[in-house]
């Protein structure tokens, strides 16, 4: 994951943050049991703050990334799933030449993907 920013054109690009967040999501998954407990705790917190019967959507909206990082375990996905998700992410940002300024340099990202692929099984 740390190699991919080297293939980006700049960290100031408007898609850099979302790209890195999605890249992290391609590699790691959050433990569902922990996330369910966090949602239950957040729901109770919202009720105490005066929300009457908050919906699941409201509860999830009020959970911060800091809370998820603090209270939920993360695990790596399987090799094949990680590979496919990263490929899909890269392809989703690959537009026609001249359509927009791409977030990454294609040849650099492709060579990094090949090098990184060799290490997917280490995750």
pLDDT digits (tens, 9 = 90+) for 7-49: 555 566 677 777 778 888 988 999 999 999 999 999 999 999 9
Q: Where in the sequence is the domain holding 7, given as residue range(s)?
A: 1-14+79-123
| Token pair 């009720």 in the structure block, residue | 47
Residue 83 lies in a domain: yes
Residue 98's pLDDT is 39
Q: Give, as one character, the DSSP assignment of residue 94.
A: -
Residue 29 lies in a domain: no
Residue 103 lies in a domain: yes
Give 102-107's long-range contacts (Cβ < 8 A, gap of 24+). Answer: 102/9, 103/8, 103/9, 103/13, 103/15, 103/16, 103/19, 104/4, 104/7, 104/8, 104/9, 104/19, 105/7, 105/8, 105/9
Residue 117's pLDDT is 62
Structural domains of the chain, count: 1
């Amino acid at each position: 994951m740390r190699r991919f920013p080297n293939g980006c054109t700049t960290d100031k690009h408007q898609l850099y943050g979302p790209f890195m967040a999605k890249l992290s999501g391609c590699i790691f998954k959050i433990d569902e049991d922990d996330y369910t407990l966090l949602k239950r705790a957040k729901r109770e917190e919202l009720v105490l703050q005066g929300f009457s019967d908050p919906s699941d959507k409201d509860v999830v909206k009020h959970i911060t990334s800091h809370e998820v990082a603090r209270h939920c375990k993360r695990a790596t996905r399987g090799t094949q799933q990680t590979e496919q998700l990263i490929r899909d992410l890269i392809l989703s940002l690959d537009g026609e030449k001249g359509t927009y300024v791409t977030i990454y340099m294609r040849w650099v990202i492709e060579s990094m993907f090949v090098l990184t692929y060799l290490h997917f099984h280490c995750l």
